[in-house]
Structure formats: C-alpha cells, structure tokens
Structure 1
C-alpha cells in the first residue's frame, strides 16, 4: 500500500494569521451556534477548519488536474496521470499495446512519458493488483489539530484576538466573542431598571443572570444571547462597572463603589518622567518593550 504524506511548510503555524476565510467561518459558526465563545474555545474549532482547507489545497496541488494511476482503469493516449508509487511523479500516456501475460487475462500496457523525460510501461485493465488500493493518507504533525493546538496555543489565541478586535462584526465581552448583528435590543428603560436593582443591593456585585431575572427582556431568544446583549449594554454605560474575576461577569454600580476604588491610589498614580531614549542600553530597551500594562503607549 502506498502512503501519501501531507505536510505544511515548517513555519506555517508560527506565522499563522487570520485570513478572510477564517473570519467568515467564525462568523457563520457563531451565527449557527448562538453561543459566545472565548478565543481559546474558538481556537481548536478554527484550527480544524484551517487544516481541512489546507488538506484540500495540498491534494489539489499534488494532483494538479491529473488522475491517480490505478492498474484496473483504462486510459487513452493523452491521459495525464500521477503515480503515488513513484513519489507522485506526473506523466502522460503516449501509447498503448496489448498485454502478453496469459496469467493476467486480457489487459493493456500503456506507455507513459514522465515530466523528467523518462518513459515507462504500466499495466491497465487489471482488476487484481495491489496498486488498485487507494493511497493511504498520512499526515505530519502540522496537519494534526491536537498537535497544532498543543504546540502553538499562545500564537493561535493571540492571532484570533488580533484578527477580530478591529472587526466591527464581532464584539468581545469578558473575553467572549459574539456577533454584533445578533445582539438583543437593550433600551434605556432596561438599563435604568438594572441601575435600580443594583442600588437596592448596595451597589452589587450581581451576576448578569441575577439582573435578567428582574428585567423584562425577550423570552423567546436563546438565554446566551440575552445575557451577552445585556453585558454589552452595561459595558457601554458609564454607570456600571464590571468587577468579576477572570471568566466571571459581575456588575457593580459605580456611584456606590468605595472612593479608593473610583480613584487611583496615590502610590499607583503614574507621573511621566522625560528621558533620552538614546541613553538606554539594548537590555533596557528590551525590558521596556516587554512591559505590557495600562500605561504602555
């Protein structure tokens, strides 16, 4: 049995970037499933889709419009073939004759001219032959979704964030991505009611689900859509502050937050100091570049 090894270029996933087809796929996926997902949750779904797309491309490139040679098939002069048993070399049928081996019954022998100038003969019209078994597809780790998501997790998540953050069709709240077009309408009355509920609960914090119980939002919509829509509306309203730990959404009324929460403590206030960048050593520049906080330009 012939094995067909498919592989991507060595640095394919290291240089991964979100393409238009990826964005379109994510849009359709979120539209169909109606569930907000984090970049980490989208990552394996996207990798699987990209791998499937690349497999189709590699197979198409390997065949390049040619047919795979099988001894059981019949070919005419001019037929273009690819031969898995000969490292997927391509050739063209330039002639044929009757076969001469009585043990194989009636069959043809085709003459094939390869792209490198070689000419060889092959049997055609023989049903019982090992090469009639289709090549078994083997794949390198670069086409193994489990290996890819394990080895390149951080790169992939980062590129999903970069690829979606400026796309107006997508919005992100508390680390989860969703489609702007699917947001449920949350009006000023709903937000005023949310403010009153938090006020009655000493400012909060309250989970979004707790607020929804007291607010008259559409009941015929997927609960995930309602929750995400309310989160988005609260996030856009300066009266509310999202104070939950990573992965958990909890809302607090800003007006009732302690004073030391509303204002930056004195010892955390940043006072810029002028300096000449030319005086920095390479190590200092590298350290400066590695800093990533709310004060980074």
Structure 2
C-alpha cells in the first residue's frame, strides 16, 4: 500500500482525528519536528484496533505519543503512523484507594482527582509534564520516588494480536527511567494503589513540589525535560555545568541557564541543532569527568 492509499484508508476508517503530513513540532513540548506521514487520535479502543490493522496491512511503522514530552523528532519527520491516545484512553476514576486512569490522561489531571478525593502517593509527580502512560513506560520520577512505586497493574493492547491484557506490576521490570514493556504492547490504562490522606495535605505537598520545579527547572520554556539520565552517584546537571556548558547554544537551541540538563528551544530550533549540542555536551563531560552521559529523551524520525 503506497502512502496515498494508506492515508486515504485512514481517513475512511478512523472515527477520530486524522492529520496527514502533520508537523510534529505542533505536538511535542520541544516545538521541534518534521511531518508525520499520518497523525491520528483514535475515538476509542475499537477505533484504535481498526487503525492498527490498517497500519499492519500497509506495513507501516507505529509510534505512540502522549503529550510529546521527553521526545526529539527529527527535522525529516516520522514515516508511518503516529498515534495519540488523548481521546481513546482518557477516562479516570478512583475507588477504595485504587485510581485507574487511561494512558492518555495527563498527570496534572490525576493530581487534581487525588486532591479532590484525598488520595496520597503521587504528589511527587507534580510538575512532571505529559501523560500517565508515557510516565509509567519511562518510569518517571524524582530522586526519591518513581511512578512505579504505587503502581498496581497496567492494561495493554498487543499491536500484533490486537488483544487487551492486564499485567501486574511484578510482571514488569522497572529500572531508572525505563521499563521492560516491549514496543508491541501499547499501554491503554494504569492502576495505582494509593492511600487515604487529608486533601489539604495532598494539596500542600503538590504545591511544594511545583514550587521546587518552578525555581529549579525552565518550566514554561519549549523543552523536552531532562536530556540525560543521572549517572549512578552523580547529577547530570552538575556534570554538565562543571563542564562549562551552561548557556552554550547552537542555532536556537540553548543549554538552560537555570538547569544545565535542559536544552530549550528559544524560537525556531531544529532537531539537528539539539543533536549537535548533545554531542558537544557529551564530549565536554567525557573530557572533564570521564563519564559517558546516557540520553533520557527519545530521538525518533527518519
């Protein structure tokens, strides 16, 4: 199936939104990225299954995003199908300490429900951008807590068999900023085991975490979050700052003056600008400390 036929078939079948040759810069927190061959927002799980079937028949690669955080898309764009689950996986509910949320629900929405219902255990996610699905898959967190800590189970859709299944936390290996969930398993929902807490206390802790992020990270800037993982026993930000990289720039991409582990898009930065900065940072840190920095963001595209 050629590109034109693939796009037309998606438009015919999909009940959600279909955008063709859509600039990914409009869908990433970095504000960077070339066109996606097809960008779709399925209406529901049944719609998602139909879309995946079309992609499989057309032998097109599949890439799933939440809010486009922790992501750098190439200037050439993404071939195949990009799926956003904001419509099809957007339900959220809580009962008896268990909170279940669709993978497309934003972390900020979850925290609002936690405050309303007096549920503790996820306050540390305050200020972390993106959806809960992406956060769980990448095991987002802080120095003291990770989102896998209160996790109970996840619901996944197999992109090959199109079957839904439940995986308990013990069936998944979680490590620093990653999980063992394979690419063919698409996260559709997650369930957390939280604990009862005074709503005032939950709100206070959420606000405290937000204040800390606002004063230490470039919140509000066009960026992807932390660029590198913290090496064992070290802070990537401190290593980058010690290497003299704060304020360093390439085109419109610049290492943040507030936190050296963030690269910000000052206006119209290209992915190539960011990649050149990444290479230079790695080289300088390697020279000054002997440490090899590992990327935390995901780089995708042609």
TM-score range, shorter chain: under 0.3
Structure having the larger proportion of residues in helix: 1
Structure having the larger proportion of residues in strand: 2
Structure index of larger Rg: 1
- TM (norm. structure 1) is 0.26
- TM (norm. structure 2) is 0.26
